[in-house]
Chain A
């Protein structure tokens, strides 16, 4: 059915003239060229064949390329064949119907085009593929074209656009055609228009087209440069990319000046002319510096055993003009391309900034989730929980264990989040009851005791789950990314973490501002003695607060585990950043933590962007920045003021 439809389509869009002729007679016109094709002369034949637009031509070209076409030695007719025993069965070139059976092998000659010809056939085939009924093959053809843009593909591509039914493929074709026009268009006007069309194309391919148009070559000349399409004049020694030495090397290659004698040459010549511990009249033992070595070499050169050293390289170089010249001769085209490139680069930079911003937000969300639990316990109880990172790890392992029992990733995630909260809430409450409660007013010792718990928990996790990373797989609907344009895209998982962070922000604000528990927590934060005299049980509040802070760490663990690896050491990767977030943000305030997370996330992304090759350096600089920041705001971004803040 599809085949029929396609044929009809082909009939509609191909020139009517081609229909009058059958394929065999068309081939017979060019039979010599087809039987013994040569790279140089096959072009016109292919053009003629393609111009006929015969429906069976594509199939023929393919078989021709794959050496499956045979010529009958008698009448020089072309056939496809099927082997049946020793004999061959001939098939019609148009319909593939059986024409003759039992033909002897020596009556037929196989046509074997060489590699060059096969490539030319392939190019001709592209236009057929561009109209292939299978969209996948059409996409393949477009890929092939965009991999290697060539002037010859322009016409077939343009022709195929009209018949294109797939909207996205049509868009690609138009885009690609525009690229081709920009590179190979016939008139300057066409090309300039096409180039200007590229100004809102941020894709790598589009930008490659522009940079290919603007490709330059470094040339050395003594002629005036007026006639060249100059990109710029390069002054050797002043411009960083061309040293005087390198400029001279160009002259050696292109203008045949004598080569520079390298230090290796000098050593080789001296080594080859040693005579009784001396060379060039100078003792070898004295040659521990280049002054003496050159003196020896020059002496040898005078004796005629070595070429003289080129002297005064800078003067020789200064006699020449070095210029970067566009490969493209037409200055209107290069001017337009240059202007467009600038526009595109601005847009790319803006998009990158936006992308960076999104990255920073998602990183900040992670830091917020990791740090908020810590901030709560620190703010309310003045307790630094060094095991906070291990609670994050516990949450992530909870997620992993849940997935072992519930294979459905969506369901397991729904189960894992509250379960992780419950597990770490329990662990937090246990720790508060057993350890921390005995250490109030000894904050430094709390820090160390929780550190002891942290190393024990880490090693326990290692003993239970092993040292290798465990997967925590996100559900399918969280795979992939939201693509805004060629530069800006953000993974769904990061959006999900952002949403989770916002949810927790809202939830915490609700708990702290609107519930009885929140009121009591705030009271204990601000004045524990007063709070307890008003009938608030600080013990209970401390326990619940610690549980809450730890529980959120568990949730953060599941979230982090979804995109990072679950290992026993994952907690310690986040703990210092979490501390920084709390310290920078200011203690005892949800908004402070948010501000701290935002600042650290942005800062880290920004530094990474400045120095993309080196994330370690980025972290180093960030920490140094934070240490300096503390100088100016020792109590963090959102600081309590006055006597209530204490000292």
Chain B
């Protein structure tokens, strides 16, 4: 397992508020990792930094085997480097069909001219079918994404990430608002995905994290408080303090 993403000494400040404070973080490939932490711990900002939405004030963000720096690259470039992100709120293109949503996400050249002269291929269609099956939306392919249920939208978004074939998947609260059955299925999808790539899941729900059965990183006030198995970190007095003290 080699290091895929490495953050070291990263800090970022918004109008005097230190959202991320000297954060260091590493993940290998393949690996499944859960990040937990109280509100305002900097979980979303951490994702913003990795995906290029927010530029850190200091620190390094290194990526891949060659260790290229992600700081200063555009969001689209970082995405093409192989980092996929799922937002807290499901953001699928509701006016378009599930198939179109997935087709857009397929790993293909992204330049305007490439896309303009893109011709549908059998491989592409097969790949869409495969992903749809993985996320259980095979029957919904021709439906408009806006008609899907909340859980289905979450899966569609995960499916779009999978279609991108990223090396690193950042997933923000995937289980929020799901029924227990849906959660179970989500867990399966993520665990399955993590067999071939790195997956980082940010989650509040401890039950969900437990089911993921992976290494856990606890964030607090913008830096890592503890790291290890869930049982290990929940015994950590600092973690208990942070969670129960509030």
Contact = CB atoms under 8 A, between A and B. Distances in A.
| Direct A–B contact present (CB less than 8 angstroms) | yes
A644 B45 CA distance: 12
A224 interface: no
A642 interface: yes
Nearest to A642: B14
B15 interface: yes
A516 interface: no
Contacts of A642: 14-15, 17, 19
A186 interface: no
Nearest to A645: B14
Interface in A411-461: none
A641 interface: yes
Interface residues of A, number: 4
Interface in B15-37: 15, 17, 19
Contacts of B17: 642
A147 interface: no
Contacts of A644: 14
A592 to B, nearest CB: 15
A643 interface: yes
* Of listed B15, B44, B45, residue having the most chain A CB within 10 A: B15
Contact of A641 (B15, B44, B45, B48): B15
Nearest to A643: B14
Interface in B115-152: none
Interface in B43-86: 44-45, 48
A643 to B, nearest CB: 7
Contacts of B14: 641-644
Interface in A631-647: 641-644
Nearest to A640: B15
Contacts, number: 12
Interface string B223-241: 0000000000000000000
Interface in A613-640: none
B87 to A, nearest CB: 12
Interface in B176-206: none
Nearest to A647: B53
Interface in A348-374: none
Contacts of B19: 642-643
* Of listed A641, A642, A644, residue having the most chain B CB within 10 A: A642
B85 to A, nearest CB: 14
A641 B44 CA distance: 16
A495 to B, nearest CB: 37
Contacts of A643: 14, 19, 44-45, 48
A642 B45 CA distance: 10
Contacts of A641: 14-15
A152 B17 CA distance: 81
A23 to B, nearest CB: 92
Interface in A212-226: none
Contacts of B48: 643
A375 B104 CA distance: 39
B10 to A, nearest CB: 16
A160 B118 CA distance: 97
Nearest to A644: B14
A286 B116 CA distance: 59
A641 to B, nearest CB: 5
Contacts of B45: 643
A642 B17 CA distance: 9
A643 B12 CA distance: 12
B19 to A, nearest CB: 8
A483 to B, nearest CB: 47
A644 B16 CA distance: 13
A589 to B, nearest CB: 13
B124 to A, nearest CB: 31
A533 to B, nearest CB: 16
A641 B45 CA distance: 13
Interface in A374-404: none
A530 B14 CA distance: 20
B187 to A, nearest CB: 29
A643 B14 CA distance: 8
A555 B14 CA distance: 38
A642 B57 CA distance: 12
A637 to B, nearest CB: 16
A641 B19 CA distance: 12
A644 B17 CA distance: 12
A641 B57 CA distance: 13
Closest 10 pairs between A and B when the two form their complex, measured CB to CB: A642-B14, A641-B15, A641-B14, A642-B15, A643-B14, A643-B45, A642-B17, A642-B19, A643-B44, A644-B14
12 contacts: A641-B14, A641-B15, A642-B14, A642-B15, A642-B17, A642-B19, A643-B14, A643-B19, A643-B44, A643-B45, A643-B48, A644-B14
Given A641-B15, A643-B14, A643-B19, 9 more contacts: A641-B14, A642-B14, A642-B15, A642-B17, A642-B19, A643-B44, A643-B45, A643-B48, A644-B14
